[in-house]
Amino acid sequence: MTRVLRQVAFDPLGPQVHTTTVPSGRKVRYIDEGDPEWTPLVWFGGGGTSVRAFRLLEFARTLREELRVRVISVERNGLGETPFDPTAGYPEYAADVWALLDQMGIGEASLMAISGGGPYAAHVAAAASARVRSLHVACAFSELLGESPVPPLMEIAADPVAWWRYPPSSPVHLVPGFIESTVEEGTVARFALGRDVPPEGLAQAIALLETEPLPDLSGVEAPAFLYWGSDDPLVTTAHLTRWRGALPNVIHVRLYEGEGHDVQYRHWDQILADIATLGESVVVSHAGATLLVDEAEAARLLATGATLGLAAWVSLWTPA
């Protein structure tokens, strides 16, 4: 008897990294996940991350594909396997991102940043504000505020995995394999170019955070969405206030009471919905199903016991 098996092609081991040369002469490493006809999103990972850090959000790949969101991300200077160029700061990175989108034939794109990726997204937005479809900022650093010191370089370089240590109460522990993947990401982002290569990319990233203010974002008229945990100890709500004051068209501030520096994971489902529908829909879990509903229906369901986000957050959750 012959049994015909379904698999005829390889399954992905996370996002595939591509390399190309842009007009600056620099080689950029990037990912491009999704169909060319889908809504393009340029994603900016947290501080000191490689381009493949996006795989940490692919626990919702099914939802992302259902909402038809295509993700593009460009690795930052000196991180992962991207060689360090001492002449390449925020403006050069922004120019390279738009040059890559030009090569891809993408005119307009949404931008989404988490944590230390915030300033990079801001410079990309400021460099071509008319091409920004929407801007999504989740617990993202803005600039050096009095209460928000940046961790010392050598502390991070010596133990890059510490960057990823979430407390036991964090919902990220519900995602199968998440913690193991963060260990891999922290190690790759720091040591991919070799154990003895000095952390020049990380040093530059920290120096930029410490010295560079947000660029002028007054020309970014695209709708902006802000996502924060009220109890975030790392990127406090002072940064939320800074972003809100810098952006002229903030249409949603989603402040999650009692939550910390993991909003970008716990509410990634809502971020995807905002990217796809520009704020017209809310993701809720009700009676074991994940629903995409309008704001009024979301309020009604939440009042009757529904919860925000994917049904998996509820089905996997065991109260302490």
Q: What is d(CA 242, CA 169) in angstroms, rounded to the nearest whole number? A: 28
- Which residue, 244, 221, 45, is CA-closest to 142? 244
Q: Are 126 and 217 in contact (CB under 8 A)?
A: yes
Q: Are residues 85 and 234 in the same domain?
A: yes
Task: Look up tokens 């190309």; give the residue.
Answer: 20
- Which residue, 151, 124, 145, is CA-closest to 245? 145
CATH for 93 = 3.40.50.1820
- The one-letter code for the residue type at 320 is A
Q: What is d(CA 95, CA 128) in angstroms, rounded to the nearest whole number? A: 9
Q: Are residues 267 and 289 in the same domain?
A: no
| 15 confidence band (pLDDT: 50, 70, 90) | very high
* The total number of structural domains that make up the chain: 2
Q: Are residues 222 and 314 in the same domain?
A: no
- The answer as to whether 9 is a domain residue is no
pLDDT of residue 251: 96
- The answer as to whether 5 is a domain residue is no
Residues 210-237 pLDDT 10s:
999 999 999 999 999 999 999 999 999 9
Task: Look up tokens 């493949």; give the residue.
Answer: 52
- The answer as to whether 3 is a domain residue is no
Q: Are residues 276 and 166 in the same domain?
A: yes
Q: What is d(CA 43, CA 39) in angstroms, rounded to the nearest whole number? A: 12
- The answer as to whether 244 is a domain residue is yes
Q: Are residues 165 and 300 in the same domain?
A: no
pLDDT of residue 318: 46
Output phi, psi for 49, to 5 deg.
Answer: -105, 155
Q: Are residues 98 and 134 in the same domain?
A: yes
Q: Are residues 170 and 294 in the same domain?
A: no
- The one-letter code for the residue type at 101 is L
Distance of CA 83 to the CA centre of its chain: 22
- The answer as to whether 44 is a domain residue is yes
- The answer as to whether 298 is a domain residue is yes
Q: Is residue 151's pLDDT more than 80?
A: no
Q: What is d(CA 174, CA 34) in angstroms, rounded to the nearest whole number? A: 25
| 146 confidence band (pLDDT: 50, 70, 90) | confident
Q: Are residues 215 and 251 in the same domain?
A: yes
Q: Are residues 62 and 190 in the same domain?
A: yes
- The answer as to whether 134 is a domain residue is yes
- Which residue, 115, 127, 109, 139, is CA-closest to 222? 109
Q: Are residues 150 and 86 in the same domain?
A: yes
How many helices (DSSP H) and strands (DSSP E) are in the chain? 11, 11
| 128 confidence band (pLDDT: 50, 70, 90) | very high
Q: Are residues 120 and 265 in the same domain?
A: yes
- The answer as to whether 23 is a domain residue is yes
Q: Are 21 and 103 in contact (CB under 8 A)?
A: no
Residue 292's domain comprises 281-320
- Stretch 132-160: mean pLDDT, rounded? 86
What is the model's pTM?
A: 0.95
Q: Are residues 74 and 214 in the same domain?
A: yes
Tokens representing residue 109 in the block: 């794109």
